[in-house]
Amino acid sequence: MKNLAPAIFPPKGIGDAKPSNKAVLDWVHEIATLTQPENIFWCDGSERENEFLIGESLKQNVLIELNEKKVPHSYLHRSSPNDVARVEQFTFVCTPTKEEAGPTNNWADPSETYTKLRGLLEGAMRGRTMFVIPYIMGPADSPLAKIGFEITDSKYVVLSLRIMTRMGEIALKRLGNDPNAEWNRGVHSLLDVSPERRFICHFPQDNTIISVGSGYGGNVLLSKKCLALRIGSYLARKQNWMAEHTLILGVESPEGRKHYVAAAFPSACGKTNFAMLIPPAHFKGWKVTTVGDDIGWMRIRDGRLYAVNPENGYFGVVPGTSNKSNPNAMRSIAHDTIYTNVAFTDDGDVWWEGKDGKPPAHAIDWRGNDWTSQSSEKAAHPNSRFTTPMRNNPALDPGVEKGEGVPISAIIFGGRRSDTVPLVYQAFDWNHGVYLGATMASETTAAATGAVGRVRRDPMAMLPFCGYNIGDYFQHWLDIGSQLTNPPLIFNVNWFRKSADGKFLWPGFGENMRVLKWIIDRCEGSGGGLKSPVGWLPSPHDLDLAELDINHNAVDELLCLDHEEWKKEIAAHKEFFDSLGGVVPEALQKQREQLAAGFEP
């Protein structure tokens, strides 16, 4: 198999950045004794190391070089066709008791799981190189920053982690020699990339992650979903902060007033597009800047929430990305990018469904097969990805490296809902906002294996990522709120409502600025709104719709509450809460009763 490449032997001065922390060395020794690699490669994150690893990856077909003129310093990687998305059914939270993992996680007994994984890892790196990658999540000087180490036998992981995190010497320096320092232990082995031996296991109490049998980013870049969200959310509760599946963006008015908002949407629901939004011409002088596109870590400071993006790059969905949908993403991925599972054109460029221009007459598809524009198969996998450094983003926010984070004025929840849920509304207060997050739902996407398009409840977009009992997580949100004197306002948005004939009612993309503007107006106390049973709803004239080609009926439909649909919705909330088996805090049950009462005749 192509990415199970043999060991590599670097020249002197590369691969020898051995840490001095004894706890780390002991752990690496333990894993090496178990997996028996041919050699150990200690990563320092340097340019020279990166070039060496790219060279080796090209030789071993882990990467394909793209046309230097069309996409400079960029590469294509193809994962195994059975390994193209997160595998929620094989993702486990291994807490001492099942109750701690709660009703929404797959739980497995920690000691049995360690035994099983040790069995799978025994001799797993024979003939391969074991890479040891030190990294930091968050700006290095942030009080929120966390250190992680990932051991892996995949060069693709090393190259990707260098983009996605602050990797190498910087992490070793920050860790120092304290044997009791907090750091995350991550072990990854491709094994034989078989779905039968694919397990993504989290041991929150041990700050440990073990992932085997996959090469797909969401399962193997352990910094991201595994540490920044699953283990992160567990640590956040213990340490009184928040780890959330949110983008973070800055929005600045022509007068120079600036707000930051965090928005939690499920995977592949447009977080990257929203985070890189370019306001339409009508919003002259308004600027939107990106702090993060996927994960926000937030802490309380002076009665407010301050957020950092723990990541250093973007691992985004490629199909649908174009100069129309997201020009800033197109510029970000025009160079120094690793593409995974997109199509490869005859002139060495990349192509995907939804890219600008005409499809190529011929290409090699994501599986490595010939493809023509007449093919009925997709050229790029629907969950094909780009991995690109955040510094490539022309709209990167200047506050992105601020260790103290940026102050959050609003939190937005949202999902893909064809019906029921209005374009935007505002929660009455924090606890009501927590209810909006706890009951949000979305039609499933290709980011995880399984059926696409099914409405599922995805509280705070954290269903696949909350590393502990979801009832305790809801309570944690309530507890954080009670400590804030200046809490963010909370909103719910839905860009995806459809008309009776199945057409999207809202144009989306840059036009979402109109909704964002209302949110900012509300934060500044100037935006109008009507009190409705679900929250504060804008009326059509509260939204700035000037120069937008949309008819009045569509706007009315976008903002209307259909009582019959809402009765079903509230019943679904109850069903969801009931399905959690009694863990939902009383305060949220009360919110549901109040909501239901609002629809009584």
Binding footprint of ligand OXD on the chain (CB under 6 A)? 86, 218, 267, 294, 315, 447
The secondary structure of residue 544, as a DSSP letter, is -
**In whole angstroms, what is the distance from residue 12 CA to residue 282 CA?**
58
Q: Helix, strand, or coil here: 276?
A: coil
- Please choose which of Mn ion, ligand OXD, none residue 86 contacts, taking the beta carbon within 5 to 8 angstroms, the exact cut-off set by kind: ligand OXD
- Are 489 and 127 within 8 A, CB to CB? no
Q: Return the SS3 of 181.
A: coil
We find the least distance from the C-beta atom of residue 267 to ligand OXD, in angstroms, to be 3
Minimum distance from CB of 330 to Mn ion (Å)? 20
* From ligand OXD, Mn ion, none, interface partner of 515 (C-beta below 5 to 8 A by class): none
Strands 129-137 and 39-42: parallel
Q: Is 550 exposed, middle or buried (0-12, 13-18, 19+ CB in 10 A)?
A: middle
Catalytic residue among 94, 269, 466, 523: 269
Shortest Å distance, C-beta 242 to Mn ion? 16
- The site for Mn ion, by CB under 5 A, has a size of 2
The CA dihedral of 534, 537, 540, 541, to the nearest 10 degrees, is 160
- In angstroms, the CA 207 to CA 11 distance is 34
Give dist(CA 338, CA 178) in Å, integer. Answer: 35
CA–CA distance, 232 with 204 (Å, rounded to integer): 9
Residue 167 sits at the vertex; the CA angle it makes with 321 and 407, to the nearest 5 degrees, is 65
* Residue whose CB is nearest to ligand OXD in the complex, by number: 267
| Nearest CB to Mn ion, comparing residues 244 and 294 | 294
Q: Which of Mn ion, ligand OXD, none binds 447 (CB below 5-8 Å, type-dependent)? A: ligand OXD
Residue 293: CB minimum distance to ligand OXD, A: 8
Residue (186 or 585) nearer to ligand OXD, CB:
186
Q: Does 267 interact with Mn ion (rule: CB under 5 A)?
A: yes
Is the Cβ of residue 267 or residue 340 nearer to Mn ion in the bound state?
267
166 binds, among ligand OXD, Mn ion, none (CB under 5 to 8 A by kind): none
- Choose between 54 and 447: whose C-beta lies nearer to ligand OXD: 447
Partner touching 148 among ligand OXD, Mn ion, none, CB below 5 to 8 Å by kind: none
Q: 294 or 443, CB closer to ligand OXD?
A: 294
For the CB of residue 325, give the shortest distance to Mn ion in the complex, in Å: 18
> Dihedral sign, CA of 40, 43, 49, 50?
positive
560 is catalytic: no
3 state SS for 51-101: HHHHHHHHHCCCCEECCCCCCCCCEEECCCCCCCCECHHHEEECCCCHHHH
For Mn ion, the binding residue among 153, 294, 397, 458 (CB under 5 A) is 294
Question: From the CB of 563, what's the least distance to ligand OXD, in Å?
Answer: 34
Nearer to ligand OXD, 164 or 242 (CB): 164
If binding is defined by CB under 5 A, does position 293 make contact with Mn ion?
Answer: no
* Site of interaction with Mn ion (CB under 5 A): 267, 294
Catalytically annotated residues: 269
